[in-house]
Structure 1
Amino acid sequence: MSDTLAAMLPGWGTDINGAGPLYQRLRLALEKAILSGKLKVGDVLYPERDLAEHVRVSRVTVRKAIDHLVQDGFLVRRRGSGTFVAGSAVRADQPPSRAYLLTGGISWLGSGTKVECIERSTSQPAPEEMMTLGLSSDSRVVRITHLRSSAGQPIAIERICISSEFLPDARTVTCSICNTLADANFRPVRAIQRTFALNIEDPDATTLGVAVGTAGLLTKRVAYLASGRAIEFTRSLFRGNAEGFVSELTFLEN
């Protein structure tokens, strides 16, 4: 079994010396094993005890890494059976030189969309940002908040968080953040996005011009570098009482 685990996590001996919490490094290593096909759809994951012994971390660390992979849709838990590679996991069969960047532009049906920057700041990361980007409590992050409007009506709030390691000053963003990161040789190559339904509360309800409790849609997108490091965490909150929106996605070859 140790040989199989070593083949599944070939870079763990090196990765353990990298930056970020242990659970985050283990999560990335397991994710790479899934995307590369070392772990295939339907494969059962090794027991937490065996993984913990192989990578020499606590079972709590292993469980936390697995919890995040379940949340991201890479793994699924089946009561009484174990943890399996999810059927919705996307395999990256192309070599690294064929990596693709996914960028999205959102427009509302019937009219064009205006994007306005309403806030820029640099401060310590919040707990969710720390866990998502693999940062320590004494790190610094840049936050940029956009308000998207259509025909003069606010439709979405977009909050972007990037480690100051990659973007030291929010004022340097004069075009798209994607282009700014690419110019600094920090271009993401892939992203994972999750979508949630929720009721909009203040202060977002006031900003969007809707009543507190109005139905909304929240997306959380995490963009990754080719190394597997999470570089950008974007949360977008959309009001749900407009006529609808269309997402235009562009794949850019690296």
Structure 2
Amino acid sequence: MAELFTPEAFEETGSGPLYLQLHRLIADAIASGRLQPGDSLPSERELAAMTGLSRVTVRKGVAELVASGQLVQKRGSGTFVAPRVEKLEQALSLLTSFTEDMARRGRSVESRWIARGLHAPAPEEVMALGLSIGEMVARLERVRSSDGVPLAIERAALSQTTLPNPATVNDSLYAELESRGLRPVRAVQRISAANLNESDAELLGVPPGVAGLKIERISYLPSGKVVEFTRSLYRGDAYDFAVELKLAPEGERNP
């Protein structure tokens, strides 16, 4: 570590601001493997002494890497190289649960429940689910992880008649719905970009403000009745969503 952070690595002119030089030095060391996931960086004071840079310059250079997700800071512990997250590609043409999707990849699935229970519905839940007056809504909120890495926050809402007891859901909501003969057969999804707020970022183990994917799904039974209204947040560094496009039939093309 000492041979990486030396005063000779920094130039006063010609290579940009000193904090950016420090940023590039650490980023290049991570990319080349000189710094490995989980490695601890020297403290701000130690980095300043090793490099000859001011603590303000060190703080700014490190902050840029924390903001981009390459470094993580743990209160009371220090600054560490962030773990590498395998980028997953999810096909948008398949209606699957998180559990089913990870199982197809041969990956483990873990859920950390934040809340599950019956509540008075919010206006958007009444509209999405077509609830009757006085009908309660079952809410399920959890962090979905695979192989120990948190990937998504899932917030699902269903009518009380569909899911009278939310506590019966274990790993897979769709497995529970299938056991009740209420497995959805189609869905409409809307995907938008989002910057994760502090509480959501903490749940996903990333810095606040990093890019995420907000996905809203409304799922339907064969009868056309809405069965599920789910709003999820996915880590932007962990997911790509892919869809296959086909040429429209000749009669439907613009002349």
Q: TM-score, normalised by structure 2?
A: 0.50
2:155 corresponds to which of 140, 153, 159: 159
Structure 1 residue runs of 5 or longer lacking an equivalent are 1-100, 248-254
| Distance in 1 between residues matched to 2:128 and 2:194, nearest whole Å | 21
2:110 aligned to which of 111, 115, 140: 115
Shift of 1:140: 0.7
> Which residue number in structure 2 is paired with residue 103 of structure 1?
96
Contact 1:161–1:233 (CA under 8 A) maintained in structure 2:
yes
Query: Using the alignment, how far apart are the partners of 1:202 and 1:136 within structure 2?
Result: 35
C-alpha distance in 2 between matches for 1:202 and 1:217: 15
Secondary structure in 1 aligned to 2:191? strand
- Deviation of the 1:143 alpha carbon: 1.2
Aligned residues: 146
Output the CA distance in 1 between the equivalents of 2:175 and 2:106: 25
Q: Which has the higher strand share?
A: 1
Contact 2:97 2:174 in 1 (8 A): no
Residue 120 of structure 1 deviates from its aligned partner by: 1.2
Ranges in structure 2 where 5+ consecutive residues have no aligned partner? 1-93, 243-255
Cα distance, 1:192 vs structure 2: 1.0
Question: Aligned partners of 2:190, 2:156: CA distance in 1, in Å?
Answer: 15
C-alpha RMSD over aligned residues: 2.8
Structure 1 CA distance, aligned partners of 2:237 and 2:96?
A: 25
* Map of 2:121 onto structure 1: 125
* Aligned ranges 1:1-254 → 2 under 5 Å: 102-105=95-98, 106-107=101-102, 112-118=107-113, 119-136=115-132, 138-174=134-170, 176-242=172-238, 244=239
CA distance in 2, matches of 1:204, 1:111: 27
Q: TM-score w.r.t. structure 1 length?
A: 0.51
Q: Is the 8 A contact 1:111 1:150 kept in 2?
A: no
Is the CA contact (8 Å cut-off) linking 1:125 and 1:137 kept in structure 2? no
Deviations 1:126-177 (A, max 9, x none): 1221111112463211111231224433221111111111110012224522
Q: Secondary structure at the match of 2:96?
A: strand
Contact 2:219 2:228 in 1 (8 A): yes
C-alpha separation in 2, matches of 1:193 and 1:232: 12
Alpha-carbon spacing, 1:152–1:236, altered in 2? closer, same or farther (3 Å)? same
The match for 1:49 is none
CA distance in 1 between partners of 2:189 and 2:124 (Å): 15
Q: Distance in 2 between matches of 1:206 and 1:182?
A: 33
After TM superposition, the structure 1 stretch with the greater mean CA deviation from structure 2, 137-146 or 118-127, is 137-146
Bigger mean CA offset, 168-177 vs 218-227: 168-177
Identity percentage of aligned residues? 44
